[in-house]
Amino acid sequence: MTSQKSAFPFPITEKVLANGLRIFVVPYDSPGLVAYYSVVRTGSRNEVEPGKSGFAHFFEHMMFRGTERYSTERYNAEIKAMGADSNAFTAEDMTVYHILAGKSALAKVVEIEADRFRNLRYDEASFQKEARAVLGEYNKGSSDPLQKMSEELYDHAFALHTYKHTTIGFLRDIEEMPNQLAYSRQFFDRYYRPDNVILLVVGDVTADAVLALVEKAYGTWAKGPPRPPVPVEPAQTREQRVTVPWKGASLPMLFMGYHAPGFSSKSIDAPALEVLAELLFAERSRLHKQLVLDEQKVETLEGGEGRHVDPNLFLVLARVKQAEDMAYVESTIEKEIARIAADGVDGKTLGEVLSHARYAFAAQLSTPDHVALVGAEFLALDGRLAAIDEYFASLAQVKSADVQRVARSFFTPQNRTVVTLQPEAP
């Protein structure tokens, strides 16, 4: 049992099966309710072969195509009969499948999830249909200027690492996807294996009951083949700038990415960057007051770094009301970063930021589904739920000097990629 000071204050039972499958069971006070999460430690980061981006997201679709035992229709009927909710999502470092169901349905949930992970079946026709659905999803998103800006930002910010493409993949690869049936099976065989999957069960459960069901259903699942390494990104040596013309209705936008470290539960850099993001972009920040409230040059201003396995980007996004103010907005953001790098942050403000971060995290842990969602992220990144407490212990140790150091170290012109959206005049 973790202490009351823990950021993740729940009892945790962990077991590793002989085939490498890891199971975490977290009893949570949610009478009659269970969240069942299958965390595949594969996302767009792992799409290392040229021309093959988008397959992690593609399998988020394909995993609902059924097996010999449970067709798509039967799977959906079982979910409906249980009164459960089943869904999935893909990110750079993970693909997560989740079911929220009643406690009495746990045995059936384990059965049908183990079946589709071990026995997914699809023919060429269903493969091509789903591949075309992914293209449709891409085309639908193309009406959002942020999709295009994100593509340009990551494509220019990364030279070798697979973070170069967004989760849905390069358009040229999506268009070619219907011809990649053989590769799809290779991808599934490589990554959908017990030594690359973590199960997280949260709710009205006992560890003994869960582990018995899981070992019976997954215990003979064979380990997978070796998985290729992800290329290491070299340091960026000069600023990258891209202008995106836009024919649709939109405000001008400024989108900047600064290379920042990958996740480490014990490093002070990521927590210091989290503090810096709050100082720069929270609604009470000086920048927000100046650009959004007082001068009213910016409609929305936001920024921060998501957690990633490998070094990724600290993002800054500003929706600017007038195109002629774009350079001013950018320089104002740069000056505020430089001010914090020089002056740091006073103790009172730092304490408030750290308290808010911890409170906001605790507020997420309000249901078994939310607890599992938070846990799934840290399991994908680190493989341990203990990483949550380690990270927040590091966050509590952040000093003004740490915030100054990360502001000086990472927010330099040569470490930056800038994308601007220029809507065409009406």
Does the pLDDT value for residue 1 go beyond 50?
Answer: no
| Amino acid 2: pLDDT | 32
Distance CA 117, CA 42 (A): 14
Distances (CA, A) of 182 to 73, 220, 344: 25, 25, 55
Task: Tell me if domain 13-218 and domain 240-423 are identical in fold.
Answer: yes
Mean pLDDT within 121-125: 95
Region label for 3, one of left (φ > 0), alpha (ψ between -120 and 50) or beta (otherwise): beta
CB 53 within 8 A of CB 47: yes
Tokens 């380990």 correspond to 223
Tokens 């079911």 correspond to 99
| Amino acid 248: pLDDT | 86
Beta-bridge partner residues of 101 = 34
**How many CA atoms lie within 13 Å of 303's alpha carbon, on the beta-carbon side?**
30
Phi, psi of 257 (to 5 degrees): -130, 125
User: Over the stretch 146-171, which tens digit does the pLDDT of each residue have?
Assistant: 999 999 999 999 999 999 999 999 99
Sheet holding 22-27, edge to edge: 13-16, 22-27, 197-203, 33-40, 95-102, 85-90
Tokens 């001013």 correspond to 328
**How many CA atoms lie within 13 Å of 353's alpha carbon, on the beta-carbon side?**
27
- Orientation angle between helical segments 106-119 and 207-218, nearest 10 degrees: 30
| Amino acid 5: pLDDT | 72
Domain map of the chain by residue range? 13-218, 240-423
User: Over the stretch 2-55, which tens digit does the pLDDT of each residue have?
Assistant: 334 799 999 999 999 999 999 999 999 999 999 999 999 999 999 999 999 999
| Amino acid 59: pLDDT | 97
- Beta-carbon contacts of residue 110 (< 8 Å; ≥ 6 apart): 36, 210, 213, 214, 217
Does the pLDDT value for residue 94 go beyond 70?
Answer: yes
Angle, alpha carbons 386-391-392 (nearest 5°): 105
The helix/strand count (H/E) of the chain reads as: 15, 11
What sign does the dihedral 158-163-168-170 (CA atoms) show?
positive
**CATH classification number, 13-218, choose in 3.10.20.30, 3.30.200.20, 3.40.50.970, 3.30.830.10:** 3.30.830.10
Beta-bridge partner residues of 315 = 257, 304
Distance CA 322, CA 326 (A): 7
Mean pLDDT within 271-287: 96
Phi, psi of 179 (to 5 degrees): -95, 10
Tell how far CA 418 is from the center of its chain. Answer: 22
- Beta-carbon contacts of residue 291 (< 8 Å; ≥ 6 apart): 297, 298, 301, 318, 329, 332
- Beta-carbon contacts of residue 205 (< 8 Å; ≥ 6 apart): 25, 27, 34, 103, 106
Tokens standing for 203?
């709710």
CB 329 within 8 A of CB 320: yes
Mean pLDDT within 338-364: 95
Mean pLDDT of all residues in the chain?
96
% of the chain at pLDDT higher than 70: 99
What sign does the dihedral 259-265-267-270 (CA atoms) show?
positive
Assign domain 240-423 to a CATH class. Answer: alpha beta
% of the chain at pLDDT higher than 90: 97
Beta strands in 162-279 (DSSP E): 197-203, 240-246, 253-260
Tokens 């999830």 correspond to 113
CB 65 within 8 A of CB 130: yes
| Amino acid 424: pLDDT | 87
Distance CA 2, CA 152 (A): 44
Mean pLDDT within 367-388: 98
Tell how far CA 125 is from the center of its chain. Answer: 31
Mean pLDDT within 59-70: 96
Mean pLDDT within 100-116: 98
Confidence of residue 426 (pLDDT cuts 50, 70, 90): low
Element (H, E) at 415: none
Mean pLDDT within 286-315: 97
User: Over the stretch 360-369, which tens digit does the pLDDT of each residue have?
Assistant: 999 999 999 9
